[in-house]
Amino acid sequence: MTITQSDRSSGNILGFVVSGDVTRADYDVLTPAVAAAVEEHGTVKLMVDLTDFTWEKIGAWGSDLNFGHEFHEKIDRMAIVGNKKWEEYLARLASPFYAKEAAYFDDQDAAWAWLRS
């Protein structure tokens, strides 16, 4: 599995580590967890660690777009963790499509602190 939920997740603050190539099936981990937290808390804050992410398979693109459409207004903050320049740009694109506010971090601890602030 290439998307796994972090054991640091609690309440409406969820974290996921993405590694390798993401497939449509990987959204079966992400989407239900976010949906359950939204149902319980109304909104969520999300950390996505892309440090070991390779690529998203074409078959996953629809699931990705559906996720953004379904949860955009329910994700208060999205922290994107990575170590590549394109991941920093992705954080800028996340605000209009995936979250009300997004930021890039090269350190997971800093991302968690921002989400909890």
69-91: pLDDT as tens digits:
567 788 899 898 988 877 776 67
Domain with 70 in it: 3-116
Separation between Cα atoms, residue 115 and residue 79, nearest integer Å: 7
Contact present, 5 and 36 (Cβ < 8 Å): no
Query: How many C-beta atoms surround the C-beta of residue 50 within 10 A?
Result: 21
Q: How many domains does the chain have?
A: 1
- pLDDT, position 48: 87
Predicted model pTM? 0.82
**CATH code at 92?**
3.40.50.10600
Query: How many C-beta atoms surround the C-beta of residue 29 within 10 A?
Result: 15
Contact present, 47 and 108 (Cβ < 8 Å): yes
